Amino acid sequence: MATPAPLLQIRNLQAEVTTDPPRQILKGINLTVRPGEVHAIMGPNGSGKSTLASVLSGGSSFRPTSGSVEFCGQSLLELKPEERAHLGLFIGFQYPPAIPGVANEYFLRTSVNAMRLARGQPIMDAAEFGKTLEKKMGELNLSERFMTRGVNEGFSGGEKKRNEILQMALLEPRVAILDEIDSGLDIDALKVVADGVNMLRQTHPEMGLVLITHWQRLLSYIVPTHIHVLAEGRIVHSGGPELAHKLEESGYDPLVRSTPAPGTPVPTEPTGTGMLPPPTPATLAQGPVASAPRE
Ligand SMILES: Nc1ncnc2c1ncn2[C@@H]1O[C@H](COP(=O)(O)OP(=O)(O)O)[C@@H](O)[C@H]1O
Ligand SMILES: [Mg+2]
């Protein structure tokens, strides 16, 4: 069977933070995400993981200086942030901003309808949207009071993360990039968030997923097909799901210390070490296949 065309293809992406003077953060990122793949990006603090998410979203704190990003056949870096979203790119931020005074339900409906309009679908009225919302909220254990409050206003860390997943589930993206969706979550909240993501994968098996995370724990619940280690603005190592356990044992240090010079091909794990095929509804229903999560 022919390999499906990539949804997202990042080639030699370099970017700087727009401080005065600017400083280069991303030093040549290459990443290809195909339908159904789950890529985990791990790496030490400050290595550029959130910067990558921000550059892909079109945020103004960073400026791409070189390289290209193709998303569903379009040149992503030339698009406005909302055009990227309408094309089907979703970014769940590490620190989702609060929008006081804008009720969460109104915000969600407006986002969904903007997306539907861009896709040539009819917009949803409040009643119709309410029904869809209620169902998804139940799945994510979110109570109704989150809908009338301002977006993320006074939400706990865990509530903000569940709200990000709710947005994602409503927007049904082609590619979702989730930045530290597990940070600050206790084990029960982590399971709810992971279940929400897995449910969406089950109904949308073509969706590409990029999970930015520090912890192997999340990857026990959402099993990646590929794992990459990002250090000092470069992907220094790539492998299959088993790489998470190796990193858990030995940390990032051995890989970071052997950081290749720019332009050197990225080392990958030998083939046949467990690169998983894209999930099918049956494999997803089996749930976690990796080791039990650790507290
Ligand atoms: N707004 C900013 N202003 C200045 N430096 C920044 C800003 N945002 C990020 N950085 C710097 O960029 C580097 C990468 O940060 P980040 O992408 O947040 O790392 P990670 O998500 O991997 O922990 C760090 O050195 C950080 O200090
Ligand atoms: Mg970060």
pTM exceeds cut of 0.85:
yes
Sort strands 150-151 and 99-103 into parallel, antiparallel or unpaired. Answer: antiparallel
Q: Which residues does a 6 A CB cutoff place in the pocket of ligand 1?
A: 17, 19, 25, 43, 45-51, 61
Q: How far is the CA of 125 from the centre of ligand 1 (A)?
A: 40
Cα–ligand 1 centroid distance for 234 (angstroms): 14
Ligand 1 atom closest to 230 (CA): 22
**What is the chain's mean pLDDT, rounded?**
87
Distance in Å, CA 21 to ligand 2 centroid: 22
What is d(CA 217, CA 238) in angstroms, rounded to the nearest whole number? 18
Least confident of 48-52, 154-158, 201-205: 154-158
**Rounded-to-10 torsion of CA 242, 201, 96, 152:** -140
Whether the pLDDT of residue 261 is over 80: the answer is no
Atom number in ligand 1 closest to CA 18: 3
DSSP bridge pairs for 66 = 14
Backbone torsion region of residue 48, taken as left when φ is above 0, otherwise alpha when ψ lies between -120 and 50, otherwise beta: left
| Tens-digit pLDDT profile for residues 46-76 | 999 999 999 999 989 999 999 999 999 999 9
All structural domains of the chain with their residue ranges: 8-285
Q: pLDDT band for position 228 (50/70/90)?
A: very high
For residue 263, pLDDT over 70 is answered with: no
Average pLDDT over residues 274-278: 41
Q: Does domain 8-285 have CATH number 3.40.50.300?
A: yes
Closest-CA residue, ligand 1 atom 9, reads 51
